[in-house]
Amino acid sequence: MNATEWKEKLSAIRDSFSVSINNVQTENPEAIELRFLGRKGELALLLRDLKDIPIEERKALGALGNTAKEEMMVRLGALKGVPASAGPAAKPNLDLTLPGWPFPKGTLHPLTVTLNRMTECFAKLGFSVAEGPLIEEDYFNFEALNFPPFHPARDMQDTFYVDVKDASGKDMLLRTHTSPVQIRTMKNQEPPIRIISPGRVFRSEAVDASHSFAFHQIEGLYVDKNVSMADLKWTLEEFMKDLFGSSAKVRFMPSYFPFVEPGAEVEVSCVFCRGKADGPRCPVCKGTGWIELLGAGVVHPNVLKACNYDPAKWSGFAFGAGIERFAMLLFGISDMRMLYENDLRILKQVQ
């Protein structure tokens, strides 16, 4: 097609458009719009043919085509009762004063809200976020964390193994805790290190009100010169006060994890009954006034060595907490299963 033919075709289209407009009783405006201005309408197809026409002429023809299109839109708009100034895109009889459709609004999941709050508290203390894979090597999940092969402490965590071998020929596993991220981070960075690492973990456990086979933890690791148990205690105390209010207290009970020494079970003063012994027995702390919330301790020298850190020069603390447990305390949820059932009555109460 050359330029002259193209122009003739355009004027033919305009003519038949006019005929259609004048016969609007037999052809409705929508059908006319589709036929001439639709994506595969006559005008669109003609504009596509422009590509075969030499560039020097193409520009002027394109402008002609566009003017024709605008004209048609205005005429169609007038037909549909839309003032020309409103543009043909506006719908006829559109009443902007009518109330809109109610749009159900989503909310963040209680676990996400909890995690965000926890992350914010640690961010204020200078911790940044690190992540690691869910399918992990025995080396990162156990060995580098000072669990020797066949060590009974491996039984503390009922492990799901995967039918895939790692480079050393061992079965891969679903990580049983977020502690492998400690190793991955130390192997990739020089101290000082100050990270938290939230994420999903897996254990072969029966589901009940406080257990699940897939849940979430947040790990913390701080490595620097002269880091001590006192730094750990201060950090966790600041964190708990920020999260639960300034009256929250923290206490440490001796405990054992292969990758820390000394190790502790950290408890927070009951945020519900505030440890009052005289009232009715608090169901959350069982009347003890304390709630067990996380495991923690001073990083074991063997762990530092596995990451090529000199234990004479560097020391650190680590902690790990279940996020579900915090969510249950923050939002008064008594059964962990409620967090996974997607009942909107539970999900909506957390904003």
- Told to check if 179 binds ligand PHE by CB under 6 A, we report yes
Q: Which is nearer to ligand PHE, 17 or 319 (CB)?
A: 319
Question: Minimal distance in Å, beta carbon 260 to ligand PHE?
Answer: 5
Q: Which of 270, 296, 303, 328 binds ligand PHE (CB under 6 A)?
A: 296
- Which residue, among 138, 143, 327, has the nearest Cα to 217 in the 3D structure? 327
Contact present, 313 and 223 (Cβ < 8 Å)? no
Contacts of 262 (CB under 8 A, 6+ apart): 229, 254, 297, 298
Which window, 184-192, 257-265, 268-276, 304-312, contacts ligand PHE (CB under 6 A)? 257-265
DSSP class of 176: S
Which window, 13-21, 56-64, 129-137, 312-320, contacts ligand PHE (CB under 6 A)? 312-320
Residue 42 CA from chain centroid, whole number: 47
- For β-strands 315-322 and 214-224, DSSP reports them as antiparallel
Question: Minimal distance in Å, beta carbon 95 to ligand PHE?
Answer: 60
Question: Minimal distance in Å, beta carbon 301 to ligand PHE?
Answer: 15
Question: Minimal distance in Å, beta carbon 295 to ligand PHE?
Answer: 3
Residue number with the smallest Cβ distance to ligand PHE: 320
- Told to check if 177 binds ligand PHE by CB under 6 A, we report yes
Q: How many residues sit in the footprint of ligand PHE (CB under 6 A)?
A: 11
From first CA to last CA, the distance across the chain in angstroms is 63
Residue 320 CA from chain centroid, whole number: 20
Whole-Å CA distances, 116 to 102, 109, 196, 271, 336: 28, 11, 12, 20, 19
Residues 315-344 that bind ligand PHE (CB under 6 A): 318-320
Contact present, 209 and 335 (Cβ < 8 Å)? yes
Question: Minimal distance in Å, beta carbon 309 to ligand PHE?
Answer: 16
Contact present, 122 and 239 (Cβ < 8 Å)? yes
Beta-bridge partner residues of 198: 218
Which window, 119-127, 205-213, 313-321, 328-336, contacts ligand PHE (CB under 6 A)? 313-321
Question: Minimal distance in Å, beta carbon 277 to ligand PHE?
Answer: 30
Radius of gyration of the chain (CA): 34
Which window, 30-38, 45-53, 161-169, 295-303, contacts ligand PHE (CB under 6 A)? 295-303
Which window, 53-61, 243-251, 266-274, 289-297, contacts ligand PHE (CB under 6 A)? 289-297
- Told to check if 180 binds ligand PHE by CB under 6 A, we report no
Q: Which is nearer to ligand PHE, 199 or 295 (CB)?
A: 295
Q: Which residue has the tokens 């990451």?
A: 307
* Widest distance between CA atoms in the chain: 100
Contacts of 332 (CB under 8 A, 6+ apart): none
- Footprint of ligand PHE (CB under 6 A): 177, 179, 257, 260, 263, 295-297, 318-320
